[in-house]
Amino acid sequence: MKFEDSKYSNQIAYKKEVFSFGSIYVTKHFLLSEFNEGIHVDYDIAIELISRFSPLLSKGVKIGYIANRYNSYSFDPQIWVDFNKDYDAFVASAIVTYSNFSYLNASLEKQFFNKSLKRCKSLEEAVEWITNLKEFKNEINQN
């Protein structure tokens, strides 16, 4: 299910950023990616995303990341290693998988991500998990 077709698009404030390779939804607590069918997420795409979101990432903001993989595409897992080395913005990541093959790919990526990475079977599971992380619960309780 696409984010804009989910109940969360009406419940959570977001800004949609459109790229040639897909869309990124920016919320207070997470970034959610929906990449186009058949693309390969490589360093060129990562650099474009980092340059677009570097003001957010460099402010010391802690945020979650959700990869909503309703389309089939490939991802270079080495990107996680390099991103983790240069940025510390993501507190955790969730990958929504819609097939066994996608789940296996997410399992491989989990080996490269040095923080918590949850493989989810639905967008709802991913959003609920990210928004209920202790990092965000503490923030809510302090406000």
Going from the N-terminus, what domains does the chain have, and what CATH number goes with each? 3-142 (3.30.750)
Confidence of residue 143 (pLDDT cuts 50, 70, 90): very low
Show Cβ contacts of residue 7 under 8 Å, excluding neighbours closer than 6 positions. Answer: 124
Beta bridge partners of 67: 33, 95
Tens digits of residue pLDDT in 25-44: 999 999 999 999 999 999 89
Q: Report which of residues 84 and 5 the model is more confident about.
A: 5
Q: What is the pLDDT of residue 140?
A: 43
Q: Report which of residues 62 and 70 the model is more confident about.
A: 70
- Mean pLDDT for 50-63 is 79
Percentage of the chain beyond pLDDT 90 is 54
